Each structure stands twice: as C-alpha cells, then as structure tokens.
C-alpha cells in the first residue's frame, strides 16, 4: 500500500499498513496560517442515562494545554487568558484534580471549551456558526470531540452524542455532517482554509463515509478518528486516559518538527498509539487509527500545526539529548564492561557524585542502558520504586533503616524487623500477579549518604553481603522455569560525600572473587566541560532542529551562555549547565519545570 494511496482514500494508520514511500515533504510554499481556532468538546456525564465515561474531559484538557502552551492556539488579547475559568470550581467531580482544568470562551471565538453540561446540541452548533462568521480565508480550525459516538446502518450516518442527547430521540444527536457542512464550498466562500476534525469516540471512522470532491486549490478538509467504523473506542481507566488521546497529545507535545503534519510522518503517531494500547492496564477494544478526507469538497492541502516558538527545543526533545549525549561516557563504559545478563536477577550498583539530582539522572541512564542493551522493560506502572533511604549516622543499621522505610508504606502484617523477613518481603514483590506483568515487576531501592568514612563503607559492605546471601539462596531454590517471570532487584548506593573519591574495591573486601550477581561500581561523576558540551551539541543537531542550539556553533554565543565571554574553557555542575541552557533558550517556568522533572524526578520517568 503506497502512502499516496493512503492520502487519497483515507485508510487505517496502523502497523498493518505498509508505508513504502517516503513521508510527505513539508510544503513551505503555502501562505502561513493567519489564525488558529480551537473548539474542544468533551462529555463525561450525560443527562439521559448514557454510560458515564472516565476520561474525555481530562484527556481534552491535557490536549488543550499542549495546544495553548506550545502551538499557536493563543489568545488574541491577554484579557482572554485572564477570563478563562477553572472547571474544578464549578464541578465537584473535578475538585480533587491537582491542575486547573481551563475552560476557554474567547470573545473572538479563537478558543472554546465545551465540557459536560455546556456541550449541548444547541451550544455546539451555535459555536460553530459563530466561528464561521469570523474565521478568515487563511485561517485554520481544529475541532476535537471526546465522548460517545453512534453509527446507524439504516441511513449510513454518524452522530456525536451531546450532553443532552437522548438515546431514543435521533433529533437530539449531532450529525457529523452538520459540523463540516458549515465550511463547504471553500472556492467561493473563502472560509477556513484548513479544517481538521479529531474524534475520540466509538465507530468514529464512519464519519468519513461518503465521497470527497477533489479540487486543485490549496485548502483541506480532513479527519482523524480513534477507531474504524466497526470498532469501539477504549476510554481507559480513570485518570489514565484513553490510548488515542494519550498518543495524540504525546505526539504533539514531543514531535521535533516545528510544523507537524500527521501525514508527513504518520509512524510517530502510529507507534505511540500502539504503545499506549499495550500500556493500558485493562484489556480494551481493538482499535485502529483512521485518517482521511471528509466526505465533502476538499483541496490539495493538509492541516499543519505550527509551534509558537520555533527557536527553542521542546523540553522532551532537550531531555532526550541531554540523557543520551551529555557526558556519562565512563558510566556507560563501566556498564558495558561489567554488566552480565546471566547475573541480572540481583544488581548492586554504587556511584559517587555531588548531588541527589545527579544520582537520579545517573540511575536513569543506567536503566535506559539496560532497557536498550539488556531488553529490560522499565515502566513505573510495573516497578516498585521506594523512596530513597537516607543513611544519617555511621551508627545506623541498614536493615533497621530499610525496615522502617518499608513498614511506613506496607500493609504486610508478616513484615518483621529481621533480615529474613525484610528480604522475603522484597523478594515477593518481584513476583507478578498477572501474566502480562511477568519479568517487569522490578524492585528499586536507593540508599543515599553524605557522611562517614570507613565506618559507613563497612555498614554498606556488611549489608550487601547479608542481603546477597539471602537472595541467592532463595533464587537457588526457585524453579528454573519460574525465574524468567521474576522482576529484577536493584540496590543502588549513592555516595554524596563532599571531597570523597567514591567507592573502591577495598570498600567491599567481603566480596572475594567474582560474585554471582551484578556488582557494578560506577566511576565518580565530575563537572561538565567544553568538550562535553561540544559533543552533546553536535549529537543534538543530528536528530532535532532548534535555531537556539545550532547557534551554539558560534563560540562567542556558547561562552556567553556559560557566563565566560571569550573563554574557550569552562567547567560547571550538571544542574548549573541545565539552568544556563534553559535561560539561554528562553524557557518559561512551565517548560523549565517539565525539563527538570524529566531529568531528575523518578516519579515522572524511570528512563
């Protein structure tokens, strides 16, 4: 199946569709979009007894945040942002949500959110009419709907179920054609150059049933649906999102192109959708994305999203490049040399650096290396990641410190303050309670310490010997066919002592010979210097485009960013470099927070 056939006919965007031609090249000869309009519709609760849904409002809010933060779905005047309201204050169902759920109702209709009771048939149609009156010849409109959808075989029509739709009253259903027919005949009316409908609802592929009238002028009328015409659309567990919404939002948030176009590189969206379906914790309906022309007159163009600030890299893109390419070469080399797949049931890893954030980043690099090299799956939904255990005194017994940490978060009445009980409690966590989790339920325990000398090393040495003996004895008695179903045990020791040189082999004299598990001592972390930065910058340019980063080829710009104008040598801490880089890129507080969490927060991402 050729990609141009997919464009022509509108076919499912899944792994089953072969893509034998290169992606669509961007057409920069088009006149730029003058204004972007957004109509976001989501219904969790229906008035006439239709089943409640878990995630439409949450999903739509997540998407709208990305569109208004990163893309040109911006207010024409600052007063419009000030006038938005927070749904949490008006609807008790959302009062416990941590982040605001912004409801937009711009006076010029640039951005509108219709959620739950506000998404009536009359309100939706009235808003579409209002947009039609003001939208211009070179403007673009995105309409997003999440809720129930219905296809009737009798008349071959597809309907959106509004908040006041009644199951027994077809007149209360919103025919999808009612929406796009308001924007018919672009050739004569010159209204809304690009229209994209995105529908996350059951049977939504049916909305493209019918014939498109192809014209040779530059405009577009397309739709992206979360399911084919005979498929249900999964809603997802509460607060986890539908697979489609998660994938679409992720795609727009992380795509490297400044002008994303779904048909330019559909694989990125396809792959993320496939992954999101696998990550759903409960079995859902089989779904295939569907992208095609609406059954109306359409032209030669495609809806193109446009990022608001195209000079700076997006936080996710920058995080990926920093994790993959900024220093830590010695770290990876140590893993390459010492790590063994045959001994990875237990992994004891030591590291030395000057901050807790640096150790967290180093651990992410370790887990990413193991995922890529050893094919271990690291997912927060499956792993048991304990809060860091702090060694505060050289008199601490690590078993007692660990017991207190476990007991504070465990409901296991069998957990006792002795070594065997603590070990057995942790070993039990490696066992999956469902087949799909087998081999993924890893346990990660981190010990941090900032004090002590030989006494602290002796505490750690003794704990490692005692724990490893219990673990290997249990493993030896475990059925061979069951071992592959276990997760992996990771015990991480992070040395933050200022002025110390890190761990050495003499600190673990009790491990004579080669232990029967992975015992890895990572080289101490040093500062970031000009060579690290140049290597990172060159690697970044291979995979992403950002004028800000490319400009660092100019040594004057790079040295000024580092605060040493004209100097070709510098050294600084990792966190200090990230701060200088985000200042240089002009990151706002939200973007900076996203990047820092992605780099240093285990609760955001293990890798």
Q: What is the CATH number of the domain that holds 490?
A: 3.40.50
Same domain for 344 and 407? yes
Assign 1 a pLDDT band (cuts: 50, 70, 90): very low
What residues make up the domain containing 560? 528-600
Burial 500-510, CB ≥16 within 10 A → b, else e: eebbeeebbee
Asked whether 540 and 549 are in contact (CB, 8 A), the reply is yes
Interval 181-186 mean pLDDT: 92
* C-alpha of 595 from chain center: 12
Residue 32 pLDDT > 50, yes or no?
Answer: yes
Is 97 part of any domain?
no
Between CA 319 and CA 52 the distance in angstroms is 38
Is 84 part of any domain?
no
Query: In this predicted structure, what is the pLDDT of residue 11?
Result: 38
Between CA 521 and CA 160 the distance in angstroms is 59
Phi, psi of 173 (to 5 degrees): -90, 145
Interval 17-35 mean pLDDT: 51
Between CA 473 and CA 19 the distance in angstroms is 52
Query: In this predicted structure, what is the pLDDT of residue 540?
Result: 85
Phi, psi of 442 (to 5 degrees): -75, 150
Is 494 part of any domain?
yes
Interval 124-140 mean pLDDT: 95
Q: Given 298, 314, 336, which residue is the final one in a domain? A: 298
Lowest model confidence (mean pLDDT) among 217-226, 254-263, 320-329, 334-343: 254-263
Residue 238 pLDDT > 50, yes or no?
Answer: yes
CA nearest to 39, candidates 159, 156, 128: 128
Same domain for 222 and 349? no
Average pLDDT of the residues of the chain? 86
Same domain for 511 and 588? no
CA nearest to 245, candidates 225, 230, 259: 225
Same domain for 499 and 583? no
Asked whether 280 and 32 are in contact (CB, 8 A), the reply is no
Per-residue pLDDT tens for 187-220?
889 999 999 999 999 999 999 888 778 888 899 9
pTM above 0.75, yes or no: no
CA nearest to 549, candidates 393, 357, 333, 318: 318
Q: Are strands 140-146 and 36-42 parallel, antiparallel or unpaired?
A: parallel
Query: In this predicted structure, what is the pLDDT of residue 575?
Result: 93
Asked whether 362 and 396 are in contact (CB, 8 A), the reply is no
Between CA 421 and CA 576 the distance in angstroms is 43
Residue 94 DSSP label:
G
Between CA 100 and CA 116 the distance in angstroms is 16
CA–CA distances in Å: residue 437 to residues 72, 87, 313: 41, 36, 35
Asked whether 73 and 307 are in contact (CB, 8 A), the reply is no
Residue 281 DSSP label:
S
CATH of the domain at 267: 3.40.50.1460
Between CA 38 and CA 76 the distance in angstroms is 13
Same domain for 160 and 224? yes
Q: Are strands 220-225 and 289-293 parallel, antiparallel or unpaired?
A: antiparallel
Q: How many domains does the chain have?
A: 3
For residue 114, how many C-alpha atoms fall within 13 Å in the half-sphere facing its CB?
A: 25
More confident: 179 or 15: 179
Between CA 370 and CA 338 the distance in angstroms is 12
Is 94 part of any domain?
no
Q: What share of the chain is helix, strand, coil (3-state, %, to 5)?
A: 40, 15, 45
Is 71 part of any domain?
no
Residue 416 pLDDT > 80, yes or no?
Answer: yes
Same domain for 535 and 510? no
Between CA 79 and CA 107 the distance in angstroms is 10
Share of the chain above pLDDT 90, in %: 49
Between CA 491 and CA 350 the distance in angstroms is 9
């Amino acid at each position: 199946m050729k990609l141009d056939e997919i464009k022509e006919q509108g076919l499912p965007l899944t792994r089953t569709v072969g893509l034998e031609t290169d992606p669509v090249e961007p057409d920069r000869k088009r006149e730029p979009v003058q204004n972007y309009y957004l109509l976001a519709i989501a219904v969790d609760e229906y008035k006439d007894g239709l089943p409640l849904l878990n995630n439409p409002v949450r999903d739509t809010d997540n998407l709208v945040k990305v569109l208004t933060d990163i893309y040109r779905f911006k207010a024409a005047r600052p007063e419009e942002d000030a006038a938005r309201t927070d749904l949490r204050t008006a609807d008790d169902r959302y009062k416990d949500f941590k982040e605001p759920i912004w409801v937009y109702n711009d006076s010029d209709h640039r951005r509108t959110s219709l959620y739950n009771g506000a998404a009536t048939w009359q309100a939706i149609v009235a808003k579409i009419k209002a947009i039609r009156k003001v939208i211009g010849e070179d403007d673009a409109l995105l309409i997003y709907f999440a809720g129930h959808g219905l296809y009737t075989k009798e008349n071959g029509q597809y309907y959106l179920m509004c908040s006041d739709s009644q199951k027994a009253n077809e007149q209360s259903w919103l025919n999808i054609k009612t929406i796009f027919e308001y924007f018919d005949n672009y050739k004569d009316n010159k209204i809304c150059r690009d229209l994209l409908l995105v529908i996350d609802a059951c049977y939504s592929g049916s909305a493209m049933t019918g014939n498109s009238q192809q014209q040779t002028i530059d405009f577009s009328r397309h739709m992206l649906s979360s399911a084919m015409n005979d498929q249900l659309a999964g809603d997802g567990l509460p607060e986890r999102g539908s697979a489609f919404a998660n994938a679409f939002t992720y795609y727009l948030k992380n795509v490297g192109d400044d002008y994303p176009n779904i048909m330019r590189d559909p694989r990125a969206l396809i792959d993320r959708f496939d992954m999101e379906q696998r990550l759903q914790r409960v079995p859902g309906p089989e779904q295939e994305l569907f992208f095609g022309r609406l059954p109306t007159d359409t032209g030669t163009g495609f809806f193109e999203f446009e990022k608001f600030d195209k000079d700076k890299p997006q936080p996710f893109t920058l995080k990926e490049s920093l994790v993959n390419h900024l220093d830590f070469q010695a770290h990876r080399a140590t893993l390459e040399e010492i790590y063994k797949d045959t001994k990875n049931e237990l992994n004891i890893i030591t590291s030395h650096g000057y901050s807790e954030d640096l150790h967290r980043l180093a651990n992410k690099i370790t887990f990413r290396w193991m995922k890529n090299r050893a094919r271990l799956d690291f997912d927060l939904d499956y792993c048991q990641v304990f809060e860091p255990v702090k060694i505060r005194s050289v008199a601490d017994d690590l078993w007692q410190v660990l017991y207190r940490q476990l007991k504070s978060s465990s409901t296991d009445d069998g957990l006792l303050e002795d070594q065997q009980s603590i070990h057995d409690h942790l070993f039990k966590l490696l066992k999956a309670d469902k087949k799909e989790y087998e081999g993924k339920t890893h346990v990660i325990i981190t010990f941090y310490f900032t004090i002590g000398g030989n006494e602290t090393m002796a505490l750690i040495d003794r704990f490692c010997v005692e724990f490893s003996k219990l673990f290997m004895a249990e493993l030896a008695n475990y059925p061979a066919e069951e071992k592959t179903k276990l997760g992996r045990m990771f015990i991480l020791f992070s040395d933050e002592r200022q002025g110390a040189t890190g761990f050495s082999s003499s600190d673990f004299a009790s491990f004579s010979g080669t232990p029967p598990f992975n015992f890895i001592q990572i080289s101490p972390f040093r500062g970031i210097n000009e060579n690290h930065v140049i290597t990172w910058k060159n690697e970044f340019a291979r995979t992403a485009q950002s004028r800000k980063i490319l400009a660092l080829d100019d040594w004057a710009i790079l040295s000024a960013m580092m605060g040493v104008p004209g100097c070709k040598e510098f050294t600084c801490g990792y966190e200090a470099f990230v701060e200088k880089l985000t200042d240089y890129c002009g990151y706002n507080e939200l973007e900076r927070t996203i990047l820092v969490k992605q780099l240093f927060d285990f609760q955001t991402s293990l890798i």
